[in-house]
A and B are shown apart, each in its own frame.
Chain A
Amino acid sequence: MTSLELRNVTIGSPRTGLLLDDVSLFVADGATVALVGPPGAGTTALLRAVIGLDPVTEGDVLLDDTVVTSLGPRDRDVAAVLQDHPLHPHLDVHDNLAFASRLRRGTDREELAERIDEVAETLALENLLDLRIKELDEPQRQRVAIGRALVRDATLHLFDEAFAAQPERVRAHVRSVTTAWQAEQGRTSVFTTHDPAEALTLADQVVVMHRGVVHQSGTPEQVYREPADVFVAGFVGAPTMNLLPARRVEDQLVTPVATILVDEAMSAALAGRDEVVVGVRPDHWHDASSAQGRDVRDRVEFTSVIEEVEWRGGSQLVLVGFDLDEDVEDRLADLEDAFELDLFQTFCVAELPAEPRKRAGQSVRLVADRSDVHLFDLETGERIAR
């Protein structure tokens, strides 16, 4: 129903700490967007600025191409599920659901009652409508908070950590009925989450943030397959991408585990760099002796001794250890400091099928397709396009 745009929005100052640092973002009319980042990423600050709860220090917030930066929450008409899902303790579930709509004159009572019934049924709240908030458990309260937003017919719908309190079993269901409801009404929705997997499944646009900065904005596939920098590579995906330091020696890239032949295209991409970071997702390594491994044509491969195995039932994680030179470790530590995230390990992880089971101490030959190998700049951490 409405598009949202942030133009160079900054909140806070270098002295007091920046919550958002020159963030620009566009959310198309009717789109579903997930803002994802570790705690302190600035996703909540961004949402509060869009609602109008907190002022922005610089930049503009636009709804449907109209600058609303100086307007209060009432004039922006944005529906929101706030973090920790606050509710009115003295009202019952029904009145909590109806609360925001009743604040506005001209709300059709019958239509509202109908919508509340529909939303309650969607979120499995239909038997709780007469209960007070303190009679509900935490997941139920959170669903009431989601319901409050769904009932409202607002310009834009924002959900801050809206599924975090749902138990694992039902979270996917609550998520899907919420997004389905929003899509059915053609609404523009912005979700925030700390869980990258949730972000990938929720939205058609994923915005990865860290310390008030947008690192990447794109489709879930883009974010997963072409991470913009080592932060996105190390944050999205579970287990996260293997990031290995690599040095170019003539026509080869030497990593602590594998040696990669530098072809013409890669050579052009490296553009004279001698040192880079190589990234391979754990699920892109295959056992060379398996059928899947034998199918890989343009190969990167190595043999090593298994240090540890985590068997997970459906798959197994095979850990292969390696040593790093001290000076390389120092440079990686600098990069980690710059991103404030643990990115580098002294082992490489491969996610293999559960069978045949691997054991620690066994030798394994791992193979990956060259197209699944990512390159990042060792100084800036940015992706090197190929």
Chain B
Amino acid sequence: MPTIRSRLWASGVAFALGFALANVGILRIVGPDRWVWLGAAVVLMLTGAVGVLVADTQRRLSWWSVVGLELLAIFLVVPLLWTVSVATSPESLPRDLVPSQLSFDAFDRVLSDPAYRRATTTSVLLALLTSIVSVALAAPAAYALVRRRPRGSRWVYVGTLAVLLGPVLALAVPWGEQLRAFGWAEDRWATAIPLLLVALPLALWFCVTVLRTAPWDLHDAVRADGATRGQQLRTFAVPALAPGLLLTTLLVFVVTSQDVVVGAALTASEESRPLPATLLLGSASPAVVAAAGLLWLLPALVVVAVMPRRTSQLVGRTTR
């Protein structure tokens, strides 16, 4: 528990840093970049102000969480705001963090461009397929790992983690050669199997967490009550496991739909390329890329908005 004095000191330092950043931004930085400096300065100065306000309360706040929040703000929220301003500024005017005129042309162009539509459809179909198939395969495997605890299950976890941490690009070369050899590189489904290789370990990792935290003693109670297999599915599996598995599917969907590496490396033509790779490789204007990127953020936001607690629990428990 930090003392009041240390809180006041930290608040003062944050405020002074913010003040310095603001001055540098105003005096030395020209053009729209000045707003990034000012944004960071506001974050720091606000932290200082809040720090003074909560200095003498009993609220338990670790300094790491404050530092984390500030880093999040500076490295995520500021660029996101920047992206919003790029997407909504008319291209004829110079860019500004707070645009003087709003224009949704870029969004219109993304939504009406057939190439983007095709790429979006490809991305959604691929992500749907890989997320559903990977969870369908991972759930029974996770059940076996968690409930039966077979020998060598530890090596399955190690392998899963290795694949998760390993470079996805390593998959691209051999798969690319195979796909081209079979002449499938131009097909929309070309990247389905390589994507599945990325999605499967992720799904397994999450499913293991879901099943590990499931109330198995309730399952025993349901069995003791004499439930048939169908009744166990309806009265235990659906209420106790389905939300976690659904969330896993959504998270895997979000991750696979954001894939750039596999999509960019393994597809041969624009027709087979998913959206993130199309944005990366295409020659569209920054405003259009920004608008498409923002639209593409929606699925992730929906997941977090619909099940915020479960998401943080699942991801938190998995990494713990």
Q: Name B's interface SS.
A: helix
Q: Beta-carbon contacts of B206-224 to A below 8 Å, as 1s and 0s?
A: 0000000001011011011
Which residue on chain B has the smallest CB distance to residue A145? B221
Per-position 1/0 for A72-97, Cβ under 8 A of B: 11100111101110111110000000
Contact check, B215 vs A100: say whether CB atoms are below 8 A apart: no
| Contact among A52, A78, A86, A90 for B221, CB-based, below 8 A | A86
Within 8 A of B (CB), among A40-82: 48, 51-53, 72-74, 77-80, 82
Contact yes or no, A100 B225, CB < 8 A: yes
Closest chain B residue to A48 by CB distance?
B220
Known: A53-B220, A99-B235. A86 touches B215 (CB 8 A): yes
Minimal beta-carbon separation of A77 from chain B (angstroms): 6
Closest Cβ–Cβ distance, residue A320 to chain B (whole Å): 47
Which residues on the B side are within 8 Å of A52 (C-beta)? 224
For residue A109, give the distance in angstroms from its CB to the closest CB of chain B: 18
Contact A53 B224 (CB under 8 A): yes
Please report which residues of chain A, range 98-149, place their CB below 8 angstroms from some CB of chain B when the two chains form the complex. Answer: 99-100, 103-104, 148
B224 touches A99 (CB 8 A): no
> What total of chain A residues lie within 8 Å of the partner, measured CB to CB?
25
Q: B236's closest neighbor in chain A, by CB?
A: A88
> Which of A84, A87, A103 counts the most chain B CB atoms within 10 A?
A103
Q: When the two chains form their complex, are residues B226 and A74 in contact, meaning their CB atoms are under 8 A apart?
A: yes
Contacts of B226 in A (CB 8 A): 73-74, 77, 100, 103-104
Complex contacts, A51 vs chain B, CB 8 Å: 224
| Docked complex: B201-250 residues within 8 A CB-CB of A | 215, 217-218, 220-221, 223-228, 231, 235, 239
Please tell me which one of the listed residues B215, B217, B220, B227 contacts residue A103 in the complex, with CB atoms under 8 A apart.
B227
Inter-subunit contact B217/A86 (CB<8 Å): yes
Distance in Å: Cβ of A15 to nearest Cβ of chain B: 14
A53 to B228, CA, bound (A): 13
Residues in A with CB closer than 8 Å to B227 are 74, 103
Residue in B217, B231, B235, B239 whose CB lies within 8 Å of A82:
B217
Complex: how many Å from CA A74 to CA B235? 15
Residues of A contacting B223 with CB < 8 Å? 53, 72-74
Q: Which of B224, B226, B227 has the most CB of A within 10 A?
A: B224
Residues in chain B near residue A80, CB distance under 8 A = 221, 224
| Given contact pairs A86-B218, A88-B218, A90-B239, A103 touches B224 in the complex (Cβ within 8 A) | no
With A74-B227, A100-B226, A104-B226: A88-B235 Cβ-Cβ less than 8 Å: yes
Taken together as a complex, chains A and B put the C-alpha atoms of A374 and B10 apart, in Å, by 72
On chain A, the residues within 8 Å of B225 by CB distance are 73, 79, 99-100, 103, 148, 152
Across the interface, name the chain B residue whose C-beta is closest to A82.
Answer: B221
Q: Is the CB of B217 within 8 A of A84?
A: yes
Q: A51–B223 Cα gap in the complex (Å)?
A: 9
Most central of B220, B221, B228 by chain A CB within 10 Å? B221
| Nearest B residue (CB) for A51 | B224
Q: How far is the CB of A133 from chain B (nearest CB, A)?
A: 10
Question: Measured between alpha carbons, how far is A89 from B223 in the docked complex, in Å?
Answer: 16
Tell me, in angstroms, the Cα distance from A86 to B221 when the chains sit together: 7
A108 to B235, CA, bound (A): 21
Contact B231–A86 (Cβ < 8 Å)? no
Which residue of A has the minimal Cβ distance to B226? A74
Cβ contact within 8 Å between A103 and B239? no
Give 22 CB contacts A-B under 8 Å.
Answer: A53-B220, A53-B223, A53-B224, A72-B223, A73-B225, A74-B223, A74-B227, A77-B226, A79-B225, A82-B224, A83-B217, A86-B220, A87-B218, A89-B215, A89-B239, A90-B239, A99-B225, A103-B227, A103-B228, A103-B231, A104-B226, A148-B225
Apart from A73-B226, A89-B239, list 9 A-B contacts with CB within 8 A. Answer: A52-B224, A53-B220, A82-B220, A82-B221, A86-B220, A87-B221, A88-B235, A99-B225, A104-B226
List 10 A-B pairs, minimum CB-CB distance, nearest first. Answer: A100-B225, A74-B226, A86-B218, A86-B217, A86-B221, A80-B224, A51-B224, A90-B239, A73-B223, A73-B224
**Chain B residues engaging chain A, CB cutoff 8 angstroms:** 215, 217-218, 220-221, 223-228, 231, 235, 239
Show the binding face of A for B, using Cβ within 8 Å. Answer: 48, 51-53, 72-74, 77-80, 82-84, 86-90, 99-100, 103-104, 148, 152
